[in-house]
Amino acid sequence: DIQMTQSPSTLSASVGDRVTITCRASQSISYWLAWYQQKPGKAPKLLIYKASSLQSGVPLRFSGSGSGTEFTLTISSLQPDDFATYYCKQYNSYPLTFGGGTKVEIK
Amino acid sequence: EVHLVESGGGLVQPGGSLRLSCAASGFTFSSSWMTWVRQAPGKGLEWVANIKPDGSEKFSVDSVKGRFTVSRDNAKNSLYLQMNSLRAEDTAIYYCARYYENSGPIDYWGQGSLVTVSS
């Protein structure tokens, strides 16, 4: 199974900060990676797919990069609506696996 | 507008069974890969199972193989998850979801259905 490791697990930041979350795969997944945002009590929301493709309707301050085993999600200027938990997910091979999540908190 | 509505969750004793249903609308269900994803209370997301549009291929995580079965009825626009031999560690919110462009990313999710396995 491919293990997905996210870091940090918790991140404290202020509105306007540039935020970067890292996701590492235990083996190469090419660019078959998605990022999701989840708020408490809600279903996740797709932000990025194929490592760097922005899902329709997602603000341009979100971006993704990477390939192989190292990936990043960047929020260029953190907004109040962005405080949430973020998950990466590989879909290169079964079983599909998620990272453990990164909680972005208000500093 | 795409809607996915789960039902069938609840409290069940260890070793018991439960069948989750997901009613889909607003898209061509019969052409879409579908999936179940779960989330234990306060924990992260875990992929559970996938099913091809015509139901001919199914995939699931090892921890549920032999116990859970994903199925679909395209005539009823419905997805199902039959869960047998339930364990305490199966306690979670179960989300029904659709794959974006029949690929790995999930673009639409249901609201989730809580399954609690406890005596």
Check CB contact under 8 Å for A49 and B95: no
Q: In chain A, which residue's Cα lies nearest the Cα of B95?
A: A43
Lookup result for tokens 């900060």:
A17
pLDDT for A107 beyond 90: no
By C-alpha distance, which of A66, A29, A32, A95 is closest to B103? A32
User: Which of A41, A32, A42 has its CA nearest to residue A88?
Assistant: A32
Q: Do A96 and B103 touch (CB under 8 A)?
A: no
User: Which chain B residue has the Cα nearest residue A86?
Assistant: B44
- Distance, C-alpha B114 to centroid of its chain: 11
User: Which of the residues A31, A46, A90, A96 would you substitute to probe the B interface, choosing the one with the greatest number of B C-beta atoms within 10 Å?
Assistant: A96
pLDDT at residue B100 is higher than 90 = no
Q: Which chain A residues contact residue B103 at CB under 8 A?
A: 49, 91
The pLDDT tens digits of the residues spanning A84-102 come to: 999 999 999 999 999 999 9
pLDDT in tens, A29-88: 999 999 999 999 999 999 999 999 999 999 999 999 999 999 999 999 999 999 999 999
Taking an 8 Å cut-off on Cβ atoms, the answer to whether B109 and A38 are in contact is no
Q: Residue B56: helix, strand or coil by DSSP?
A: coil
pLDDT band at B104; cut points 50, 70, 90: confident
